[in-house]
Amino acid sequence: MKRLFLAGGLCLALAASSANAFAEQLTLRLATEGSFAPFNFVRPDGTLDGFEIDVANDLCRRMNAKCTMTAQAWDGIIPGLNAGKYDAILAGMSITDERRKVVDFSIPYEQAYLGFAVMDDSPLMDLDGTGQTLNIEKDPDAFAALLAKWKPKLKGKVIGVQGSTIGANFLDKYLSDTVEVHEYKTTDEHDLDLLSGRVDANFAAQPNFAATMEKPEFSHMKMVGTALTGGVFGAGVGVALRKDEPETKALFNKAITEAIQDGTIRKLSLKWFKVDTTPKLN
């Protein structure tokens, strides 16, 4: 893999070519979070790496665009887009109706599944549905039955989650009467609190937990309960764009469609997540 090197405050150049006069003039400034492994993260040597860095490289090549990428804190990433600091966001951002009020989205390039993680000495190791998946929108009866099983076991537990995320929205909507929620700026922070026992469980994207579990100090972390998608979790992970920029949206949609059709997204998701998270094309 060609590494992308940061310069000037976590800024990096993405591979590009110039097939025609329009493409030679096309410059796109991209943003990612830089602290959400394996989607995006900063290596000790200062390089950005992860699934979305590889996806960005591929999409920019397909669009014949000259791209740069910066790392931006999650809580300011959408305001930065709308303020014109960059042109697009690739940061594990799920497409939701709430976010569509302030930004536009490409078609999805990843299908998100979220769930709980605990340490292996936790009483929540027997949380129902481990190893299974459920679309809460398509099967509401099964979801209601699952919540009925979960709530007695989760009653009074402290759950860590990154703030301003679909995970936080889920806990607020469905479990606020059951658990105590602690919100964090990054997933790294809530993982450390799980390790130290300050929270009973964390709720986040499963690929994020999988990456954390590869660290020696987190070898006793386990994912438990049914992995969830649909409904409040949105329509998948997409490129966030400013509203009223249809040309840019069309470029990304075309590039993502091609990357899905030729198997590139599948290849990259298997590389980083060990499972195929390719979204279905409508």
Strand-pair category, 114-119 with 66-71: unpaired
The structural domains of the chain, with segments of one domain joined by +, span 27-112+236-273, 114-233
pLDDT of the chain along its 282 residues, tens only? Answer: 333 333 333 444 554 443 444 446 599 999 999 999 999 999 999 999 999 999 999 999 999 999 999 999 999 999 999 999 999 999 999 999 999 999 999 999 999 899 999 999 999 999 999 999 999 999 999 999 999 999 999 999 999 999 999 999 999 999 999 999 999 999 999 999 999 999 999 999 999 999 999 999 999 999 999 999 999 999 999 999 999 999 999 999 999 999 999 999 999 999 999 889 999 998
Shared fold status for 27-112+236-273 and 114-233 = yes
What distance in Å separates the CA atoms of residue 117 and residue 204, rounded to the nearest whole number? Answer: 8
C-alpha dihedral sign at 35, 37, 39, 45: positive
3-state secondary structure of 246: helix
Q: Which CATH number fits domain 27-112+236-273: 3.20.20.70, 3.40.1010.10, 3.40.190.10, 2.30.30.100?
A: 3.40.190.10
Domain range 114-233, CATH architecture: 3-Layer(aba) Sandwich (3.40)
The pLDDT, as a whole number, for residue 8 is 36
For residues 29 and 17, give the distance between their C-alpha atoms in angstroms, rounded to a whole number: 15
Which pLDDT score, from 0 to 100, does residue 2 have?
A: 30
Q: What is the DSSP letter of 277?
A: -
Q: 277 near 260, Cβ under 8 Å? A: no
- The amino acid occupying position 54 is D
